[in-house]
């Protein structure tokens, strides 16, 4: 027996490796003596080259080379290169027993003993003539075999004996799990599982399934040497000898923690987007309803005001006047409701101005303290370094007051309300978790209470319109939805953080404003001395017949001359043909065909001196963009009281 065969038979690990090699039929894997004679032969070599082991062992491996390659001395050069460099790889034609040729890839590795003496070569040959057809088989082979042999570091690839004891260990296993070979070989593989999995018998069931069906695949938590956990993808393949007896398992583990985190993040983002889309759909519906409802309310409220005025003049009885007063209050409440719906649907007309958040909150503190009562302590935290933001101060105040009242209701026994403004820079990682925000600089205004907090279910529905946890009659459920709409329309974002019994913090993100503060003077300010109505001519453009009649009669009562048009096209025709002077156009914004804003632009082209006042109950994007009124726009939001309509008309007519 040769020295090489003695070494091979004397090593238990070598026997396991030989069994593994014999199970592979896609590769010719055999050993060669230092002089080139074949010393071993696997089943893959027999299938690929056509020789039985008893036909080829002892013969020179050069028999597989073509006559041309033999003449050129390629077999000897291959062994020489392997001896010098430790490995020789190449591709070329090889010859089978029957004389047919195939294109092969070959690897020759030098084998040395512990003293460094050459004792032979390991030779691997594969037929790659049909490379494309065999590509998938190559990938699978790489996953189960080549990476095991070549010490891949991205996978933990190791062998187990039939009982589950680790018998081999690659560099990838050491990198992923943290154990060196001498620390883990001989230990049971169940130590990689969590304590819960070990107690429930997961390792035992995994080997049982692999032994029975040939393969086990799963994902789950695994434990490193340092005790840390990672999410792993695990494959266990059964290894049997030539008689079909189980001799062990090949185990491949990969750390896919990042992939799992990405999947969880994606699922969270999808949930957030779904919730946002739902709110957007409800907002569109709410805005559409508010448009028609505001027209109706303006007629109702206007006629109630007229009746109330006449009732006082006629000294109507107290019951009649009381009924009018109740009806008027109900109409005003309905107007407030539609206003909140418009805020949620982001259809309110904002007039943003640069403000200092710290000064704003400080100025609001006393008002909130008086509003919330002595049992609530109001604190304000801010500083001179807080950036400016550009928002509508009236709507911002309304949002903070809404949140403060919610906080008061969550602290029935008293508590502390904290208002805080801080600068934050939002990066891509945060935006990945909150896709409705863009990276950049923001000012976060926080309203935090020490109240009862919210449950997880309440948090999930907090911004939905009409959702409330209060008893019937104690709230509309539109407070937070109004805040949500205002923030979105202002280019910001809002988040709620809350735990039951731990209080609630609502954070409002506003984009940083870089421009200088706006001038305090307003060129559109009404003249200091207003003249009485001089019979100016007003053109009323309104598609709702009842509302057009009501507004026209009201303006006539105020001593204005009134012309009317049911649509923009009719009004343009009047402006082109009517030679009489028109002082003001009072036009609805949302009309069929040409909208009010487009009509206003055309009207200004026809009569540049014409003043225009818009009315709207649902402005969409006709007179505002990115949450702000277009420059130079005068606007009345429906429903409007008679006094407010009269005042605004007079202001626009008197503007310089």
Query: What is the residue-wise DSSP string for 95-116?
Result: E-TTS-EEEEEEEEEEEE-TT-
Nearest of 179, 173, 294 to residue 618 by alpha carbon: 294
Query: Quick one: pLDDT band at residue 326, thresholds 50, 70, 90?
Result: low
Contact 429, 501 (CB under 8 A): no
- Tally of CB atoms within 10 A around 48: 22
**What local confidence, expressed as pLDDT, does residue 404 receive?**
86
- Does residue 424 have a pLDDT over 60? yes
What is the DSSP pairing of strand 561-565 with strand 537-541? parallel
How are beta strands 584-588 and 611-616 bridged, if at all? parallel
- Chain centroid to Cα 95, Å, comes to 59
Q: What is the mean pLDDT of residues 508-514?
A: 89
For the chain, what percent of residues have pLDDT higher than 70? 71
The pLDDT confidence band at residue 525, using thresholds 50, 70 and 90, is very low
Separation CA 478–CA 637 (nearest Å):
19
Length of the chain, in residues:
656
Four-residue CA torsion sign, 232, 237, 238, 240: negative
Q: Sign of the C-alpha dihedral, residues 222, 228, 231, 233?
A: negative
In angstroms, the CA 526 to CA 523 distance is 9
The SS3 call for residue 636 is strand
What average pLDDT does the chain have?
78
Which residues are within 8 A (CB) of 399 and not within 5 positions of it... i.e. 6 or more apart? 482, 483, 486, 487, 508
* DSSP class per residue in 51-107: --HHHHTTSBGGGGB-HHHHHTTHHHHHHHHHHHHSEEEEEEEEE-TTS-EEEEEEE
Query: DSSP alpha helices (H): ranges in 194-256?
Result: 195-199, 202-213
CA-CA distance, 586 to 160, in Å (whole number)?
A: 86
Is pLDDT at 349 greater than 80 in this prediction? no
Task: Summarize pLDDT for 527-546 with one digit per residue, the tens.
Answer: 333 444 567 899 999 888 87
How do residues 190-213 score in pLDDT, each as one tens digit? 999 999 999 999 999 999 999 999
236 vs 641, residue with greater confidence: 236
The predicted structure's pLDDT at residue 223: 92
Question: Which of 214-218, 470-474, 540-544, 545-549 bottoms out in mean pLDDT, i.e. has the lowest?
Answer: 470-474
Q: How far is CA 14 from CA 7, 43, 168, 648, in A?
A: 9, 17, 11, 97
d(CA 244, CA 246): 6
Q: Which residues is 584 bridged to in the sheet?
A: 538, 611
Which residue in 257, 256, 180 sits closest to 225, CA to CA?
Answer: 180
Distance CA 85, CA 430 (A): 52
Sign, Cα dihedral of 472, 475, 480, 486: positive
If you ran DSSP here, which 8-state letter would residue 11 be given?
-
**Closest Cα to residue 215, out of 242, 189, 250?**
250
Q: Which pTM value belongs to this model? A: 0.39
Strands 118-127 and 28-32: antiparallel
Strand ranges of the sheet holding 611-616, from the earlier edge strand across to the other edge:
561-565, 537-541, 584-588, 611-616, 635-637
Tokens 């990672």 -> residue: 230
Among 18-32, 64-78, 90-104, 529-543, name the one with the lowest average pLDDT.
529-543
């Amino acid at each position: 027996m040769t020295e090489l065969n003695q070494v091979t038979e004397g090593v238990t690990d070598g026997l396991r490796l030989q069994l593994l090699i014999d199970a592979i039929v896609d590769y010719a894997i055999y050993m060669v003596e230092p002089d080139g004679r074949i010393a071993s032969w696997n089943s893959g070599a027999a299938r690929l080259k056509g020789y039985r082991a008893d036909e080829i062992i002892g013969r020179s491996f050069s028999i597989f080379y073509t006559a041309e390659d033999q003449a050129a001395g390629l077999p000897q050069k291959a062994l020489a290169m392997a001896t010098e460099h430790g490995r020789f790889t190449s591709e070329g034609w090889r010859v089978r027993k029957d004389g047919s040729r195939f294109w092969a890839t070959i690897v020759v590795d030098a084998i040395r003993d512990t003293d460094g003496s050459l004792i032979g070569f390991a030779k691997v040959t594969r037929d790659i003539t049909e490379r494309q057809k065999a590509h998938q088989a190559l990938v699978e082979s790489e996953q189960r075999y080549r990476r095991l042999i070549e010490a891949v570091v991205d996978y933990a690839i190791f062998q187990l004996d039939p009982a589950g004891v680790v018998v081999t260990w690659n560099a990838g296993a050491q990198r992923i799990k943290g154990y060196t070979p001498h620390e883990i070989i001989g230990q049971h593989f169940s130590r990689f599982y969590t304590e819960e999995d070990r107690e429930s018998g997961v390792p035992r069931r995994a080997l049982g399934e692999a032994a029975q069906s040939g393969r086990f695949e799963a994902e789950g938590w695994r434990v490193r040497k340092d005790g840390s956990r990672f999410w792993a993808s695990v494959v266990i393949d059964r290894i049997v000898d030539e008689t079909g007896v189980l001799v062990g398992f090949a185990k491949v583990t990969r750390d896919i923690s990042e992939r799992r985190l990405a999947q969880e993040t994606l699922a969270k983002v999808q949930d957030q987007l779904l919730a946002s889309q739902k709110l957007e759909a409800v907002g569109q519906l709410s805005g559409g309803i508010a448009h028609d409802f505001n027209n109706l309310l303006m007629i109702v409220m206007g006629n109630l005001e007229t009746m109330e005025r006449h009732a006082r003049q006629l000294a109507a009885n107290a019951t009649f006047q009381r009924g009018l007063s109740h009806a008027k209050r109900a109409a005003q409440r309905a107007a407030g409701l539609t206003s909140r719906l418009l805020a949620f649907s982001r259809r309110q007309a904002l007039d943003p101005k640069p403000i200092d958040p710290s000064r704003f909150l400080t100025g609001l503190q006393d008002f909130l303290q008086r509003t919330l009562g002595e049992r609530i302590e109001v604190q304000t935290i801010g500083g001179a370094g807080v950036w400016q933001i550009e928002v509508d101060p009236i709507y911002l105040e309304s949002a903070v007051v809404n949140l403060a009242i919610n906080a008061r209701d969550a602290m029935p026994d008293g508590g502390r309300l904290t208002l805080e403004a801080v600068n934050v820079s939002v990066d891509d990682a945060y935006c990945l978790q909150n896709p409705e925000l863009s990276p950049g600089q923001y000012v976060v205004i926080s309203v935090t209470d020490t109240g009862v907090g919210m449950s997880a279910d309440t948090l999930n529905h907090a911004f939905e319109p009409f959702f409330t946890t209060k008893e019937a009659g104690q709230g509309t459920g539109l407070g937070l939805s109004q805040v949500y709409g205002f923030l979105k329309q202002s280019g910001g974002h809002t988040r709620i953080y809350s735990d039951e019994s731990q209080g609630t913090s609502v954070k409002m993100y506003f984009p940083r404003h870089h421009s200088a503060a706006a001038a305090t003077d307003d060129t559109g300010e009404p003249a200091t001395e207003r003249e009485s109505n001089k019979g100016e001519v007003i053109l009323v453009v309104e598609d709702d017949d009842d509302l057009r009649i009501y507004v026209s009669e009201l303006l006539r009562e105020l001593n204005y001359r009134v012309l009317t048009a049911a649509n923009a096209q009719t009004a343009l025709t009047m402006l082109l043909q009517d030679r009489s002077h028109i002082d003001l156009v009072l036009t609805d914004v949302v009309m069929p065909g040409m909208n009010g804003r487009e009509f206003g632009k055309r009207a200004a082209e026809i009569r540049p001196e014409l003043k225009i006042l818009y009315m709207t109950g649902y402005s969409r994007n006709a007179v505002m963009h990115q949450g702000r009124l277009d420059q130079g726009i005068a606007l009345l939001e429906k429903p409007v009281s008679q006094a407010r309509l009269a005042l605004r008309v007079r202001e626009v007519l008197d503007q310089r």
